[in-house]
């Protein structure tokens, strides 16, 4: 294992003012997104859409440090025959790959899931490295509801994250570890804080036991936020304050950066929260974004599957990438957002 090499890639993934584009939607997820804009989810349409994003030169070169790909996408070629991985590299971004097999119902634990995909992972990582991937992602899903999460589900999911991370580093691939505490419920922000703290502390114990080199890893957590179905949901400043507080309590300073998931937040909400956290200052790690829908909803709608809308889709993508870049620097404002969108 080349620890210095892993640390160099991890550092580049959280470079100042840059974040990660999560373009790793499964076939089922992207079908839902395409259905919403009236586009048939064929392999060609999926390729054309992602090619549009990767050829957005301004967004990719200035604001996007890396792209998480799906298995299909990392093997695809652009219309002109150029591998999509090469388009990403040519823009100065780093190709990455989603390697988990999804969250499945956990036997004996009603309402909870376990992420699968460890079987054969070593061999798949070696293949993905040859295809150009230099980092990977594995998502664990922790739900909040009556009686859950349970210790058994938390322990099983973070143990799997640690095993995945160790296998990644063995293959010279930087692991993004993603323990997502969902915001789907009616819980308040304090309940989210409690569960997030529990999950993160357990995660870093497991990563230590698995001998994962933290300097060559990235954390992709949820923000500490009220459930979407809750009343009196916490405001931007409270979300920022409590998220930074839990990270300082749980995440070692050896971790080079934390790239948040948007987790169902609106575009502007995710940007505002990231900006408020970076304005707190005096943080031991970089705080940036690893957004999927919060970066892609606007360009998907602008594109709508039509070749004549490619430029409009790229403008929409560049706008959202720039806004989140500013947030990663603590320089975003709501007024600036409105002016830039005008």
The catalytic site residues sit at 178, 220
Determine how many CB atoms are found less than 10 A away from the CB of residue 180: 19
Determine which helix (DSSP H) or strand (DSSP E) holds 149, and give its type and residue range. Answer: none
Joined together, the tokens standing for residue 30 give: 């992207």
Distance CA 122, CA 270 (A): 34
How do beta strands 174-181 and 135-142 pair? parallel
Sole residue written with tokens 């403008």: 315
Q: Quick check: 271 and 330 in contact, CB under 8 A?
A: no
Joined together, the tokens standing for residue 119 give: 């079987």
Determine how many CB atoms are found less than 10 A away from the CB of residue 107: 8
Residue by residue, DSSP assigns 236-279 as HHHHHHHHHHHHHHHS-TTS-EEEE--TT--HHHHHHHHHHHHH
**Region at 263 (left for phi over 0; alpha for psi -120 to 50; beta for the rest):** left
Q: Where are the alpha helices (DSSP H) in the chain?
A: 3-13, 27-36, 43-54, 57-63, 71-74, 84-90, 121-131, 151-170, 189-209, 236-250, 267-280, 293-303, 310-328, 334-341
Distance CA 66, CA 93 (A): 5
Distance CA 285, CA 122 (A): 29
């Amino acid at each position: 294992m080349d620890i210095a090499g892993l640390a160099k890639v991890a550092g580049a993934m959280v470079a100042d003012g840059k974040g990660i584009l999560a373009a790793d939607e499964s076939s089922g997820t992207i079908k839902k997104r395409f259905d919403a804009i009236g586009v048939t989810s064929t392999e060609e349409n999926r390729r054309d859409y992602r090619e549009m994003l990767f050829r957005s030169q301004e967004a990719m070169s200035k604001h996007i440090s890396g792209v998480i790909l799906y298995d299909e996408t990392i093997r695809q070629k652009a219309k002109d025959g150029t591998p999509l991985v090469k388009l990403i590299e040519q823009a100065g971004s780093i190709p990455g790959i989603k390697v988990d097999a999804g969250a499945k119902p956990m036997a004996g634990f009603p309402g909870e899931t376990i992420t699968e995909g460890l079987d054969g992972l070593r061999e798949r990582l070696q293949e993905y490295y040859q295809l150009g991937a230099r980092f990977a992602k594995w998502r664990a899903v922790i739900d909040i509801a009556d009686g859950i999460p349970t210790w058994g589900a938390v322990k099983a999911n973070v143990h799997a994250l640690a095993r995945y991370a160790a296998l990644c580093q063995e293959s010279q691939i930087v692991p993004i570890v993603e323990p997502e505490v969902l915001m789907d419920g009616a819980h308040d922000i304090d309940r989210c804080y409690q569960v997030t703290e529990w999950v993160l502390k357990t995660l870093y114990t497991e990563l230590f036991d698995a001998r994962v080199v933290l300097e060559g890893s990235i954390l992709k957590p949820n923000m500490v936020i009220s459930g979407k179905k809750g009343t009196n949901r916490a405001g931007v400043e409270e979300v920022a304050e409590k998220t930074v507080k839990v990270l300082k309590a749980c995440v070692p300073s050896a971790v080079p950066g934390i790239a948040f998931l948007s987790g169902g937040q609106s575009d502007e909400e995710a940007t505002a929260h990231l900006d408020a956290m970076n304005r707190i200052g005096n943080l031991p790690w970089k705080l940036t974004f690893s957004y999927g829908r919060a970066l892609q909803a606007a360009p998907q709608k602008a594109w709508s599957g039509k070749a004549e809308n490619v430029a409009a889709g790229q403008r929409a993508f560049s706008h959202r990438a720039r806004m989140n870049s500013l947030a990663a620097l603590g320089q975003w404002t709501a007024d600036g957002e409105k002016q830039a969108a005008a």
